[in-house]
């Protein structure tokens, strides 16, 4: 096959188990078109529980190498600890133009010939070129599970940011959709969930302008909105398979959320098709999928997050000795300033418990000089439970609700090994199904499409069944 350009659309955690029924119902016309006019597969993740998180599985996709090689264990671990080149780095080293937009663990931005907007968990606003930083300011401010600082929630801040975003490509149609969403929330507050699906709409405005301007040989676009919906609302969609009760109001208000997410992904793919030329292959992929999460907890695994990491670090007596970063709900990273600080914060976190010493408050993963912290869940925990930090003394405790915000939702979708992949464009076989593949195969296949040699360290194979010539 002659050298092609590649546009990789990363639809995090989508599954054929939900796509196919919606195709049959006529609700996903673009997915149906890509599947019938292109080649499709169900790559299996070689990363398995408990090491099957998206920052791991996507890095496996980007590098074509397993976790043992690339060394990614948690979200936004120090970039110098990633030990295998990602596909955009390989392209850049080979002199190709590159556009990275939101790919996981992609911070810090690199000086590529093209554009580079890191993922929405980045610790700062840096982009390539620097003039794209308002895009990252929007994403970090409004798409992460954090409270807005006072200087980022005022009218002047929003007006200034809005003016900058208009210059970067924010469209009138997207502004209209935002206004309509805010108006609908005033009438019905339960519709706030729709905001998440506006993120890919708005970001496509910026991405499409950048893509048309630079026409990179290799580009990525990542969206997590459907994964968020599945994690949160699967129980409302299929209440009959969950042991926890589901109210009629929950089904009424949230039963169609996941379908809405998939239909918005279909709209995104339709818009992506408008960017293609005869020399470009569209690749749509997830690094794994999702399935229903049946929690052993009677109440289910509640979705919560620390109210203030600054306050928590004060309780741990390390407020001036660490940096922190909120990542996922109920999860955050800690970056100590020294080995001594690391020992102190680890000891104090490991000793913390809820109500009883046999109920530790946190689960901790360490990697070299940093670590990631997850909240633990117990049926016995209530808003009035007491959190103890033994280094403070036996008589000192904190109300659970004062430290942890409970969203009122429970996790009902979890990660599944089977992902999705579609290839579409000139030179791709129509209606072809690749029966066996895994997420190590994606990078070698993309490099081959790009006319670049497959690195000998890559463990997967080239999916040549997809090529028509």
**For residue range 87-141, what is the model confidence (pLDDT) as tens digits?**
999 999 999 999 999 999 999 999 999 999 999 999 999 999 999 999 999 999 8
pLDDT recorded at residue 148: 42
Q: How many CA atoms does the CB half-sphere of 268 hold within 13 Å?
A: 28
Same domain, 83 and 11: yes
pLDDT recorded at residue 147: 41
Say whether 306 sits in a helix, a strand or coil: strand
Closest among 325, 288, 399, 308 to 140, alpha carbons compared:
325
Per the domain annotation, does 188 fall within a domain?
no
Taking each helix axis from N to C end, the angle separating 16-24 and 257-273, rounded to the nearest 10 degrees, works out to 80
Residues of the chain with pLDDT under 70: 143-157
Strand ranges, E, within 161-260: 218-223
Say whether 200 sits in a helix, a strand or coil: helix
pLDDT recorded at residue 270: 99
Q: What is the pLDDT of residues 224-276, one digit of tens each?
A: 999 999 999 999 999 999 999 999 999 999 999 999 999 999 999 999 999 99
Same domain, 92 and 234: yes
pLDDT recorded at residue 159: 74
State the maximum Cα–Cα separation within the chain, in Å, rounded to a whole number. Answer: 74
Select from 394, 410, 426 the last residue of a domain.
410
pLDDT recorded at residue 217: 99
Per the domain annotation, does 405 fall within a domain?
yes
Same domain, 84 and 123: yes
Q: How many CA atoms does the CB half-sphere of 75 hold within 13 Å?
A: 24
Same domain, 105 and 10: yes
Per the domain annotation, does 189 fall within a domain?
no
Say whether 213 sits in a helix, a strand or coil: helix
The distance from CA 371 to its chain's CA centroid, rounded to whole angstroms, is: 19
The span from the CA of 208 to the CA of 198, in Å, is: 15
Same domain, 290 and 311: no
Per the domain annotation, does 108 fall within a domain?
yes
Same domain, 311 and 449: no
The span from the CA of 234 to the CA of 256, in Å, is: 9
The pTM of this model reads 0.92
Q: What is the DSSP letter of 455?
A: P
∠ CA 98-103-109, rounded to 5°: 60
| Total structural domains within the chain | 2
Domain that residue 443 falls in: 5-147+197-295+414-466
Q: What is the DSSP letter of 240?
A: G
Same domain, 451 and 397: no
pLDDT recorded at residue 407: 84
pLDDT recorded at residue 219: 99
């Amino acid at each position: 096959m002659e050298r092609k350009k590649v546009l990789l659309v990363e639809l995090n955690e989508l599954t054929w188990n939900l796509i196919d029924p919606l195709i049959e119902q006529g609700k996903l016309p673009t997915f149906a078109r890509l599947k019938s006019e292109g080649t499709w597969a169900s790559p299996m993740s070689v990363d398995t529980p408990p090491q099957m998180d998206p920052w791991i599985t996507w890095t496996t996709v980007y590098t074509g190498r397993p976790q043992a090689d690339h060394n990614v264990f948690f979200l936004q671990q120090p970039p110098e600890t990633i030990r295998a080149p990602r596909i955009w780095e390989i392209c850049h080293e080979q002199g190709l133009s590159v556009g990275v937009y939101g790919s996981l663990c992609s911070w810090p931005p690199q000086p590529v010939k093209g554009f580079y907007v890191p993922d929405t968990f980045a610790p700062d606003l840096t982009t390539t070129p620097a003039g794209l930083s308002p895009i990252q300011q929007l994403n970090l401010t409004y798409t992460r599970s954090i409270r807005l600082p006072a200087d980022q929630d005022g009218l002047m801040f929003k007006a200034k940011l809005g003016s900058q975003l208009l210059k970067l490509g924010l469209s009138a149609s997207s502004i209209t959709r935002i206004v309509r969403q805010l108006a609908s929330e005033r009438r019905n507050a339960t519709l706030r969930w729709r905001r998440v699906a506006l993120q890919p709409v708005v970001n496509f405005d910026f991405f499409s302008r950048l893509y048309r301007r630079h026409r990179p040989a290799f580009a990525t676009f990542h969206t997590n909105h459907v994964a968020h919906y599945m994690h949160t609302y699967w129980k409302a969609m299929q209440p009959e398979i969950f042991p926890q009760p589901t109210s009629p109001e929950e089904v009424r208000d949230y039963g169609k959320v996941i379908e809405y997410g998939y239909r918005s992904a279909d709209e995104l793919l339709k818009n992506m098709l408008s960017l293609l030329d005869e020399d470009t292959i569209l690749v749509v992929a997830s690094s794994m999928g999702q399935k229903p999460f049946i929690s052993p907890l009677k109440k289910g695994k509640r979705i919560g997050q620390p109210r203030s990491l600054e306050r928590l670090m004060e309780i741990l007596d390390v407020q001036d000795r660490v940096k922190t970063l909120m990542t996922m709900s109920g999860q955050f990273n800690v970056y100590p300033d020294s080995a001594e600080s690391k020992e102190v914060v680890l000891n104090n976190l490991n000793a913390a418990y809820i109500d009883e010493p046999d109920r530790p408050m946190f689960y901790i993963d360490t990697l070299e000089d940093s670590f990631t912290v997850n909240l633990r869940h117990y049926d016995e925990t209530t808003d009035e439970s007491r959190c103890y930090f033994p280094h403070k003394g036996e008589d000192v405790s904190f109300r659970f609700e004062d430290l942890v915000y409970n969203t009122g939702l429970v996790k009902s979708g979890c990660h599944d090994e089977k992902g999705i992949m579609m290839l579409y464009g000139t030179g791709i076989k129509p209606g072809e199904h690749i029966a066996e593949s895994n997420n190590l195969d994606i990078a070698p296949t993309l490099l081959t499409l790009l006319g670049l040699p497959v690195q000998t360290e890559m463990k997967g194979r080239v999916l040549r069944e997809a090529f028509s010539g």
